[in-house]
Amino acid sequence: MPLLVMKFGGTSVADLDRIANAAEKVKREVDRGYNVIVIVSAMAGKTNELVNWVEQTSHLYDAREYDAVVSSGENVTAGLMALRLQEMGIPARSWQGWQVPINTTSAHGAARFVSIPRDNIDRKFEEGMKVAVVAGFQGVSPEGRITTLGRGGSDTTAVAFAAAFGAERCDIYTDVDGVYTTDPRICSKARKLDKIAFEEMLELASLGAKVLQTRSVELAMRYKVRLRVLSSFEDTDENSGTLVCDEEEIMESKAVSGIAYSRDEAKITLVTVEDKPGIAAAIFGPLAEAGVNVDMIVQNISEKNYEGHSGAVTDMTFSCPINQVERAKKALQDARERGEIAYDDLVVDTEVAKVSVVGIGMRSQSGVAARMFKALADENINIKVIATSEIKVSVLIDRKYMELAVQALHDAFELDKTA
């Protein structure tokens, strides 16, 4: 019998009425002849409440007990969903991570999948179960302790189950009706995409689009799991939402498929660093050890003397999330005190944003960067840093121009049009 994985996020199961609405969508798929694995998140707001309880109880908490508490939100939702389905006459039962079992590493709070054995759930399907309701976001360590996967872990759980069970598709039900060319709250002309390639979705997710969690898209791309993003608050059919799929399923691609943005960026510049072999490693090594997520990097060469040294010096600029600025400053200052690096000044700009254009069509169509830069220039928006990849061009600009930039680029690449 064909199998479908359906995942419902926190807003989709926020209360008993929404759980009942989600159960109706599951019943529809069962009536179509599918066995279904349902992955559920905790009710909206419940995980934050549980985290706060842990932090109020113990500032230096045991990570194992943190996972035991925080994972309980998904257990409640799974049980309630199974009960609702049973009331509708559908053979269903709930599964916690250790019952499947979902085997993970021992990294509490950020565990990764090791394996998902099929035997237990397959046996229940053979005995007549139609729906397995699995608590997302959690697993079990080699030591037998409950683990959690980090924020967005339920998306990743859904994709992992779809890969492990060879599901026909993995449907992600959320509070939006698909993936848009950009954020509709910023650009009224944003258009819902019928299909988007894994690589494009991965870039958009990593660049700030919050429709899907980055790890889930990485996993889907690796195992060729077809994802469908759709709304749990609307009537849907086989053509609803956005299909995230392999590039081969998309006949022709525009040069740019979407515009992503990130408000919470900062730009850090080390002024007058010696330009010599190994200096980049000396700078970015301590940043990596401190857990700073460095993104864009620009090196500017000058011929100034540096504290008695003759020869070339450089200014090294990079971007990172704004909430990691203090960590970055400390890492660089500590490295300077240890004599590993030397610089005249450390300049931080926390009033920047990153705007990116993404599209697999860039591989075969030229002129994307020039078109992007002209659109920004026409709006008198100055570019501070540029970074590119095969299917992406990102720029760092003043944050006050971010929304204008998104709208200008959406218009420049005519993303409101289907062809």
Residue 388 is labelled as binding a ligand:
no
Q: What is the DSSP string of 7-75?
A: EE-GGGGSSHHHHHHHHHHHHHHHHTT-EEEEEEPPPTTHHHHHHHHHHHH-TT--HHHHHHHHTHHHH
Known binding residue 74? Answer is yes
**Is 174 marked within a binding site?**
yes
As a three-state string, the secondary structure of 345-404 is EEEEEEEEEEEEEECHHHHCCCCHHHHHHHHHHHCCCCCCEEEEECCEEEEEEEHHHHHH
Check the annotation: does 18 bind a ligand: no
**Under a CB-based contact definition with an 8 Å cutoff, are residues 418 and 192 in contact?**
no
3-state secondary structure 175-239: CCCCCECCCCCCCCCCCECCEEEHHHHHHHHHCCCCCCCHHHHHHHHHHCCCEEEEECCCCCCCC
**7 among the known binding-site residues?**
yes
Cα→Cα distances 24→187, 217, 236, 355, Å: 33, 27, 12, 39
- The verdict on whether residue 175 carries a ligand-binding annotation is yes
Is 210 among the annotated ligand-binding positions? yes
DSSP 295-329: --EEEEEE---BTTB-S-EEEEEEEEEGGGHHHHH
Establish whether 304 is an annotated binding residue: no
* Residue 240 backbone phi and psi in degrees, to 5: -75, 160
10 is in an annotated binding site: yes
Q: Confirm whether residue 47 is marked as ligand binding.
A: yes
**Is 211 marked within a binding site?**
yes
Considering only CA atoms, which of 271, 275, 285 is closest in space to residue 347?
271
DSSP state of 251: S
Which parts are annotated binding residues? 7-10, 47, 74, 174-175, 180, 185, 210-211
Binding residues for ATP: 7-10, 174-175, 180, 185, 210-211
Query: Which residue positions form the known binding site for substrate?
Result: 47, 74
